[in-house]
Amino acid sequence: MNGGADLGGMMGFGPVAPEADEPLFHAPWEARALGMVVALGACGQWNIDAARSAREDMHPGDYTRTPYYAIWLKAAKRLMVEKEMLTEAEIAQGVPLIAATPIKRRLAAEDVDAMLSAGGPADRPEQGEPAFAVGDQVRTINDHPTTHTRMARYARDKVGTITKVHGFHVFPDSNAQGQGEDPQWLYQVAFSARTLWGAQGREGDSVTLDLWEPYLRTVL
């Protein structure tokens, strides 16, 4: 979606504000939010693409002004309500009012290390051959889905060069909507700064994006 999360190239946010000796968490609730969101992911009720979709589906003004861990919590609550794990009334009152929904697993403390260590690889057994090879020129699609996509707006309908074939990876546009992983070939594509930004781009500078085959068309 063309939402508030798709920030590449936007203006008006002011300078970057690096914080000297920044603490890992700025308040205890941030740490709890991180731990809860990671633990909830292990419940298996949604995938990472659905989580990203829920996080970015906010009013753009709210998105750009909300602290990151608050965005995470807001999305987690929304997903739990959608999956009928919680009701709005339960969130408001802070007590269980209806029976819990069966979940795939409840992460135990002794399983945390193994869960974090295993991660969640996104590559899948390869099917067929990649359509593009390193050095090929491609044009990105000019498509504006209302649902989740990783085809960033600033790089749509632009000609770039394949610089790496990463492998065969879960396709977020499908996975985020619960329509299956639909894995696709994933490439690193390099775009010159001039192609992306015109006169504002510096000659010689470039930006790479990692893009799935359905986002790419052959340049004849």
Partner 1 sequence: MTSHDHDHDHSHLTETEARVRALESLLSAKGYIDSAAVDRIIQTYETKIGPRNGAHVVAKSWVEPEFEAWLRRDASAAIHSLGYHSRQGEHIEAVFNADDVHHLVVCTLCSCYPWSVLGLPPTWYKSPPFRSRAVIDPRGVLAEFGLTLAPTTRVEVHDSTAEIRYLVIPQRPEGTEGLTMDQLAELVTRNAMIGTGLARAPQVAS
Candidates 1-9, 125-133, 139-147; binding stretch for partner 1 (CB under 8 A): 1-9
Among the listed residues 2, 62, 89, 106, the single contact to partner 1 using CB under 8 A:
106
Question: Is residue 208 a contact point for partner 1 (CB under 8 A)?
Answer: yes
Question: Is residue 112 a contact point for partner 1 (CB under 8 A)?
Answer: yes
User: In degrees, to the nearest 5, what angle opens at C-alpha 197 toward C-alphas 2 and 200?
Assistant: 135
Q: Is residue 156 a contact partner of residue 149, using CB atoms and an 8 Å limit?
A: no
Stretch 137-156 residues interacting with partner 1 (CB under 8 A): 150-152, 154-155
Question: To the nearest whole angstrom, how small is the minimum distance from the Cβ of residue 50 to partner 1?
Answer: 13
Question: Is residue 159 a contact point for partner 1 (CB under 8 A)?
Answer: no
Candidates 129-137, 138-146, 162-170; binding stretch for partner 1 (CB under 8 A): 162-170
- Give the residue with the Cβ less far from partner 1, 123 or 157: 123
Candidates 107, 106, 161; CA nearest to 132 is 161
DSSP codes, 23-88? -S-SSHHHHHHHHHHHHHHTTTSS-HHHHHHHHH-S-HHHHHHS-HHHHHHHHHHHHHHHTTS--H
Candidates 125-133, 134-142, 195-203; binding stretch for partner 1 (CB under 8 A): 195-203
Candidates 60, 54, 59, 53; CA nearest to 10 is 60
- Give the residue with the Cβ less far from partner 1, 12 or 128: 12
Question: Is residue 205 a contact point for partner 1 (CB under 8 A)?
Answer: yes
